[in-house]
Amino acid sequence: MNRIKILISLAAAISLSPAVLAQQKPATFIGVEGGISLPLGNFGKASTATALTSIQGTVDDPSGYAKLGGFGALNGAWFFSKYFGIGGMFKYGTYNLKHVDSLSQGYQESFDVDKTSTSVTNYKMWSLMPGLYFDLPLAKKLSLTARGLVGISHTSTPQITVAIEDGGVEDPPVVQSSASKTAFALDLGAGFRYSIIRCVAVDLRAGYFYTKPDFTIPNSGRNNNAGREVTNYDQALGSINFSLAITYQFSRHK
């Protein structure tokens, strides 16, 4: 409770200080950003081959196998006050899969076969999120920025295809097909903006992204109950993101 009081007092002090009161509204801007995305929780975990081995009955798997991903975004805001604005972001990103060898070996041991070859596609995710933007000038060309966005995110899971070969015979492949789902999404971030010239600035930002689609995963070619089989994936797809943006700033208004 004390912390909240301190934060409120600090915000009030900043907003009422003469230096800040003298500032003009931040410029409306539009920018292009790109960055990296570090998946969190089960989304970024990989199970071991031993954990994926099931010779009698199938085994569920909460791991998402997402590697460090990349994304690009369009981002813009209009400021209705000296500190706050409204805006939005459209973001598209992908995550490749890691530890595919564990997946492959899990199937190999589950089916007791000579060889499994596993091929995968990647996660694809786009988001459309309006929200609130904050801009606090720290110096003539430098400001602290923050944003809180909520919206929707559409995610497609990877397709995982496992070719099975034993005794010189190719057996039916195991296919976990891609699933897609749109779900609520949240993006919270903060960073710094530095104006290079009057109308162009660069933004360096760190943020947290969250969505939790409840996927129903289609599987095909599953003839026998053994090995990893994921039919439902209801894990948070959270990430820590770091981005660099080039921003065009429209003329400022008093």
Partner 1 sequence: MGTIVVFSLSLSGCSKSASTVTPALPGNEFLTTVQLQLTNTADPADLQLCSSTQMSPTTHTYQVDSIYNSKAFLRLKANSTYTGRVIILDETKTPVDTVSDEILARENYHLFFFQPSPILTANFVISNTTTNIPQNDWLTGQPASDTTAFGISVNEALAISAADALNLTVTRTDEDTNNPPLQIGLQGKYVTGVASAGILRVVLRHQPNAKNGTYDPGSTDFDVTYAVTIY
**Interface residues with partner 1 (CB under 8 A)?**
55-57, 101, 104-105, 108-109, 111-118, 164, 166-169, 171-174, 221-227
Pairing of strands 226-228, 57-59: parallel
Note the Cα 170 to chain centre separation in Å. Answer: 38
Closest separation between CB of residue 6 and partner 1, Å?
Answer: 56
- CB 158 → partner 1: shortest distance, Å? 17
Distance CA 234, CA 53 (A): 21
Q: How far is the CB of 68 from partner 1 (least distance, A)?
A: 23
CA dist., res. 168 & res. 90, Å (int): 49
Decide: helix, strand or coil at residue 25: coil
User: Quick check: 162 and 117 in contact, CB under 8 A?
Assistant: yes
Cβ distance to partner 1 smaller for residue 9 or 224:
224
Q: What is the nearest approach in angstroms of partner 1 to the Cβ of residue 109? A: 7
Q: Which is nearer to partner 1, 101 or 214 (CB)?
A: 101
Backbone angles phi, psi at 104, to 5 degrees: -65, -45
> How many other β-carbons are positioned within 10 Å of the β-carbon of residue 26?
25
* 163 versus 199: smaller Cβ distance to partner 1: 163
Considering beta carbons, is residue 104 or 241 the nearer one to partner 1?
Answer: 104
Q: CB-wise, 47 or 241, nearer to partner 1?
A: 47
- 217 Cβ contact partners less than 8 Å away, ≥ 6 residues apart: 157, 176, 177, 179, 230, 231, 232, 233
What is the CB neighbour count within 10 angstroms for residue 43? 21
> Shortest approach of partner 1 to residue 229 CB, angstroms?
11
Kindly tell me which of 99 and 154 has the beta carbon lying closer to partner 1: 99
CB of 55 to partner 1, least distance (A): 5
Q: Give the shortest CB-116-to-partner 1 separation in angstroms.
A: 5
Q: Which is nearer to partner 1, 171 or 181 (CB)?
A: 171
